[in-house]
Amino acid sequence: MPALALAALGIVFGDLGTSPLYALQASFGGTLGVAPTHANVIGILSLFLWSLILMVSIKYVLVLMQADNHGEGGLLALLALLVGERTGRVTKRGALRWVFLAMFGTAMLYGDGVITPAISVLSAIEGVEVATPAFAHYTVPITVVILVVLFAVQPLGSGRVGVAFGPILAVWFVVIFALGLVSLAQSPAILAAFNPLNGIAFFVHNGFKGFVALGAVVLCLTGGEALYADMGHFGARPIRLAWYGLALPALTVSYLGQGALLLRDPGAAARPFYSTVPTWGLYPMVVLATLATIVASQALICAVFSLTRQAGQLGLSPRVAVKHTSFSTAGQIYLPGLNWVLMAGTIAVVLGFRTSDSLAAAFGIAVSATMAITTILFAAFARVHWKWPVWRIALVAGVFMVVDLAFVAANAMKFADGGWLPLSIGAMTFLVSTSWLVGLRTLRRSRKDSGLPLDAFIPSLVASPPHRVRGTAVFLMAAGNSVPTTLLHHLKHNQVLHEQVVLLTLLTEEIPRVPPAERCKVECLDQGFVRVVARYGYLEMLHVPQLLEQALQQVGCATYDAMTTSFYLGRESLVAPTGGNLGRRMLLSLFILLYRNELDVTTHLGLPPNRVVEMGARLDLA
pLDDT tens, position by position, 447-504: 766 568 888 888 888 888 889 999 999 999 888 788 888 898 888 888 899 999 999 9
CB 262 within 8 A of CB 41: yes
Chain mean position to CA 334: 13
Domains and CATH numbers, the chain: 2-417 (1.20.1740.10), 454-620 (no CATH)
Q: Please give the DSSP secondary-structure letter assigned to residue 570.
A: E
Nearest to 105, CA basis, from 128, 136, 82, 132? 82
Q: Could you count the other beta carbons within 10 Å of the beta carbon of residue 597?
A: 11
Q: How far is CA 192 from CA 42, 168, 485, 586, in A?
A: 7, 32, 72, 57
Distance CA 590, CA 561 (A): 41
Backbone phi, then psi, for 524, in 5-degree steps? Answer: -90, 130
CB 570 within 8 A of CB 617: yes
User: Half-sphere exposure of residue 513, counting CA atoms within 13 Å on the CB side?
Assistant: 12
Q: Which residues pair with 473 in a beta bridge?
A: 501, 566
CB 293 within 8 A of CB 121: yes
CB burial string 240-250: b at 16+ within 10 A, e below: bbbbeebbbeb
CB burial string 41-68: b at 16+ within 10 A, e below: bbbbbbbbbbbbeebbbebbbeebbebb
Helix H or strand E segment including 617: strand 612-620
For strand 496-508 and strand 529-536, is the pairing parallel, antiparallel, or unpaired? Answer: parallel
What is the model's pLDDT at position 621?
80
Q: Please give the DSSP secondary-structure letter assigned to residue 282.
A: H
Sequence-distant (6+) residues with CB within 8 A of 149 are none
Could you say which residues of the chain have pLDDT below 50? 85-91, 328
Distance CA 180, CA 365 (A): 28
Nearest to 408, CA basis, from 448, 473, 364, 469? 364
For strand 333-334 and strand 323-324, is the pairing parallel, antiparallel, or unpaired? Answer: antiparallel
Q: How far is CA 163 from CA 2, 12, 170, 176, 322, in A?
A: 11, 12, 11, 21, 21
What is the model's pLDDT at position 331?
53
Distance CA 385, CA 542 (A): 29
Q: What is the pTM of this model?
A: 0.77
What is the model's pLDDT at position 158?
55
How would DSSP label each residue in 32-68? Answer: TPPP--HHHHHHHHHHHHHHIIIIIIIIIIIIGGGS-
Q: Could you count the other beta carbons within 10 Å of the beta carbon of residue 185?
A: 10
Nearest to 460, CA basis, from 483, 476, 486? 483
SS (H, E, C) 165-212: HHHHHHHHHHHHHHHHHHHHHHCHHHHHHHCHHHHHHHHHHHHHHHHH
Integer-rounded Cα radius of gyration of the chain? 28
Q: Could you count the other beta carbons within 10 Å of the beta carbon of residue 408?
A: 21
Residue pLDDT, tens place only, 137-156: 788 898 899 889 888 888 77
What's at 59, amino acid-wise? K
Distance CA 438, CA 123 (A): 41
What is the model's pLDDT at position 86?
44
Q: Which residues pair with 475 in a beta bridge?
A: 503, 568
SS (H, E, C) 295-354: HHHHHHHHHHHHHHHHHHHCCCCCCCCCEECCCCCCCCEECHHHHHHHHHHHHHHHHHHC
What is the model's pLDDT at position 90?
43
Three-state DSSP class for residue 578:
coil
Which alpha helices (H) appear in 354-419, and where do they start and end? 356-384, 390-412
What's at 111, amino acid-wise? G
Beta strands per DSSP E along 493-600: 496-508, 520-524, 529-536, 565-575
